[in-house]
Amino acid sequence: MPTLVELTDQHTSLSSDQVDHLVALVSEWGMLADFSFADLLLYVPVASDGGINWLTASQVRAATGQTLYQSDLVGEYADDTDRPFIAAAAQTGKIQQGEITLPYLADPVNMSAIPVVCDGKVIAVLTREVSKVTGRRLGQLERTYLSIFDDFATMISSGLFPFAGRVADSSVAPRVGDGVIVLDGSARVRYASPNAVSALHRVGIRANAVGQSLAELGFAHDAARASFERREPVVEELDQDHDVTLLVRSIPILKRGARAVNVIGGVVLMRDVSELRRRDRLILTKDATIKEIHHRVKNNLQTISSLLRLQGRRLSSDEAKAAVADSVRRIRTIALVHETLSREPGEDLAFIEIVRPLIQLTQESLQSSDRPMRFEVRGDAGRLPATIATPLSVVILELLQNVVDHAFGDSRRDGVVRVFLQRDSEDDALHIRVIDNGVGVNPEFDIAQATGLGLSIVRTLVTTELGGTIVMRQATAQDLSDAALEDGSHAAGGQPADGTSVNTVVGTVVDLRIPTDAAN
Ligand SMILES: Nc1ncnc2c1ncn2[C@@H]1O[C@H](COP(=O)(O)OP(=O)(O)O)[C@@H](O)[C@H]1O
Ligand SMILES: [Mg+2]
């Protein structure tokens, strides 16, 4: 179904300011429908050969009343019975009332056509349509609400409603059915709906509210005063006693006088959000607890890696020193994931935030006397749950460390290693390619047969923990140019750039494919 903005863009010549005015109106008009116990329709003018056609751009039903229209009317044009009222409202700029008969209803229908005025011009017409027969019996509540609707209708036709720049957050905004207090021009209570009285009881206010000011009642007077002074709605959350939280929205009712705009009254809508807030608080504390745990795990891992490092310094065998250094790096990698999780809400993280520190970790192991090496990251892996991010980080660390340790031998030329990340949403998989322009692995190399600890860890994590696949092979010229590693590849194997045959170009490619739904 087309939206209000799409319909007005396609069919009308309304300016973007005027469309914004209508969007703001529609975001608030659930309240108006509720006060009027009726269906509301918004008609916008569409130029046509025979004059102006009126297109239904939006529709709302009242939560407090019966609807006349089972079907959706958006996108349809006003018919002959509606059109005279709508056209008259647009022409005169005044609210029109009358009786119409609808082809599919036996009983006549009361219709009010309210011109929607923005910056002194009628830009649309809002209609209220309600059956003459099945309407609600008029008790005090009904009479009060209808008179409030009339006040808002007058505001709409004099450009005072909707309020500029004040779009209600409809997800939590209190609605009429939740409880209404009606105020007179001096902010005294004229009427409190039964639900409002109950809400007041829950916060311990048992006095009869009618005739009192909100200050005397000790309820929501700040919100009401602010809304009267600023002439716009004010939302306030009241944390009263008894663990009750009420969300209060005070809306002034304005009237254009001869010289100025006056506040002639107001409505205070309220909603009990205690349960919502209690859950919010619970989620917040749960989230904070999880973050705290990640923080502690990180600290513990850092302690372990420091202890290991101390131990490594006391070793005399180079092999043992290297083995301990490897372990320290692996532990720091896992700590990195927990550190990132301790900063972010939820149990997943943007993996790219891990890749960069991993590279840093590998770079630290490069001796300053080594030739320079360039690390590059391309693409993005999106967000990954900790269950994937942790083993994957260790895998990438091993691969990067191998490039540093083995790819360039003693050659003095510039090494480049590039990490490509690609998230494939179609088959729920993550592709990672680590490619270097070094000496390459032997053509018979098969990772399934590799016995080194590093590659054994990689193989185990990828195939069992992550349920993915891994291919590691010598890079071809194609891989290298795909990867745009041109800046060093021509010198691979110490060959001169010119006359280098494809066969002499080497380097290593590692391709990983990890299913990303594995965690679920
Ligand atoms: N990027 C690479 N370039 C060249 N050779 C590599 C590369 N990665 C791994 N290798 C080879 O695979 C072997 C096994 O690696 P690994 O299992 O990590 O053990 P280690 O790094 O301790 O030697 C390495 O010794 C090396 O010969
Ligand atoms: Mg290794």
Domain CATH number, residue 430: 3.30.565.10
- Residues 312, 250 share a domain: no
Give residue 503 CA to ligand 1 midpoint distance, Å: 21
From atom 8 of ligand 1, which residue's Cα is the shortest distance away? 402
Give residue 178 CA to ligand 1 midpoint distance, Å: 68
The residues placing their C-beta within 5 Å of ligand 2, an ion, are 402, 454
- Ligand 1 atom closest to residue 457's alpha carbon, by position in its atom list: 17
- Residues 376, 500 share a domain: yes
Phi and psi (nearest 5°) for 383? -90, 140
- Ligand 1 atom closest to residue 507's alpha carbon, by position in its atom list: 3
Give residue 399 CA to ligand 1 midpoint distance, Å: 8
- Residues 282, 268 share a domain: no
Contacts 24+ apart (CB under 8 A), 389-393: 389/337, 389/348, 389/349, 389/351, 389/354, 390/334, 390/337, 391/461, 391/462, 391/465, 391/466, 392/351, 392/432, 392/461, 392/466, 392/514, 393/333, 393/334, 393/336, 393/337, 393/354, 393/358
CA distance linking residue 219 with residue 267, whole number of Å: 13
- Residues 282, 264 share a domain: no
Question: Could you please report the per-residue DSSP string of 61-123?
Answer: --SSS--S-SS--TTPBP-TTTHHHHHHHHHHSS-EEEEE--TT-SS-EEEEEEEEEETTEEE
Q: What is the pTM of this model?
A: 0.58
Q: Give the bridge partners for 124, in sequence order.
A: 116
- Ligand 1 atom closest to residue 436's alpha carbon, by position in its atom list: 1
What Cα–Cα distance (Å) separates residue 252 from each residue in 181, 196, 409?
12, 18, 78
Give residue 400 CA to ligand 2 midpoint distance, Å: 9
> Which of 236, 264, 231 lies closest to 249, judged by CA?
236
Query: Is residue 441 within 6 Å of ligand 1 at its C-beta?
Result: yes
CATH code, 197:
3.30.450.20
The helix/strand/coil state of 32 is helix
| Alpha helices (runs of H) in 422-500, residue ranges in sequence order | 453-460, 477-482, 486-489
From atom 19 of ligand 1, which residue's Cα is the shortest distance away? 452
Q: Which of 272, 295, 313 is the last residue of a domain?
A: 272
Query: Is residue 406 within 6 Å of ligand 1 at its C-beta?
Result: yes
Give residue 397 CA to ligand 1 midpoint distance, Å: 13
- Residues 192, 295 share a domain: no
Pocket test for ligand 1, best of 318, 321, 324, 405 (most atoms within 8 A of CB): 405
Query: Is residue 438 within 6 Å of ligand 1 at its C-beta?
Result: yes
Q: Give Cα 316 distance to the centre of its chain.
A: 56
> Which of 484, 469, 496 lies closest to 437, judged by CA?
484
Query: Is residue 113 within 6 Å of ligand 1 at its C-beta?
Result: no
Pocket test for ligand 1, best of 404, 406, 508 (most atoms within 8 A of CB): 406
Query: Is residue 439 within 6 Å of ligand 1 at its C-beta?
Result: yes
The helix/strand/coil state of 316 is coil
Whether 405 is in a domain gets the answer yes
Give residue 415 CA to ligand 2 midpoint distance, Å: 17
Count of domains in the chain?
4
- Residues 249, 183 share a domain: yes
Q: Which of 272, 305, 329 is the last residue of a domain?
A: 272
Give the pLDDT of residue 517: 78
Give the pLDDT of residue 168: 55
Whether 442 is in a domain gets the answer yes
Give residue 71 CA to ligand 2 midpoint distance, Å: 68
Query: Is residue 405 within 6 Å of ligand 1 at its C-beta?
Result: yes
Whether 352 is in a domain gets the answer no
Digit-by-digit pLDDT tens for the chain (520 residues) are 788 999 999 999 999 999 999 999 998 899 999 999 999 999 999 998 878 899 999 999 988 877 887 788 899 998 888 889 999 999 999 999 999 887 777 788 889 999 999 999 999 999 998 887 766 678 889 999 999 999 999 999 999 999 876 555 555 678 888 899 999 999 999 999 999 999 899 888 888 889 999 999 988 889 999 999 999 998 888 886 667 888 899 999 999 998 999 999 999 999 888 888 888 878 878 888 888 899 999 999 999 999 999 999 999 999 999 999 999 999 999 999 999 999 887 788 999 999 999 999 998 888 766 667 889 999 999 999 999 999 999 999 999 999 999 998 766 567 889 999 999 877 789 999 999 989 899 889 999 999 999 999 999 999 999 999 999 999 987 777 665 444 444 434 434 344 444 445 579 999 999 999 754 4
CATH code, 96:
3.30.450.280
- Residues 146, 115 share a domain: yes
Whether 360 is in a domain gets the answer no
Q: Which of 239, 272, 305 is the last residue of a domain?
A: 272
Let me know: does 64 contact 39? Beta carbons within 8 Å: no
Whether 357 is in a domain gets the answer no
From atom 4 of ligand 1, which residue's Cα is the shortest distance away? 407
- Residues 315, 252 share a domain: no
- Residues 106, 24 share a domain: yes
Give the pLDDT of residue 413: 64
Q: Give the bridge partners for 44, in sequence order.
A: 55
Ligand lying closest to the C-alpha of residue 330: 2
Give residue 402 CA to ligand 2 midpoint distance, Å: 5
> Which of 459, 460, 470 lies closest to 434, judged by CA?
470
- Residues 410, 384 share a domain: yes
Give the pLDDT of residue 48: 85
Give the pLDDT of residue 136: 63
Whether 204 is in a domain gets the answer yes
CA distance linking residue 355 with residue 432, whole number of Å: 11
**Angle separating helix axes 318-343 and 453-460, nearest 10 degrees:** 30
Ligand lying closest to the C-alpha of residue 453: 1
Residue 91 structural domain: 4-157
- Residues 98, 216 share a domain: no
From atom 26 of ligand 1, which residue's Cα is the shortest distance away? 406
- Residues 109, 246 share a domain: no
At 252, which helix (H) or strand (E)? strand 245-256
Whether 167 is in a domain gets the answer no
Whether 341 is in a domain gets the answer yes
Ligand lying closest to the C-alpha of residue 322: 1
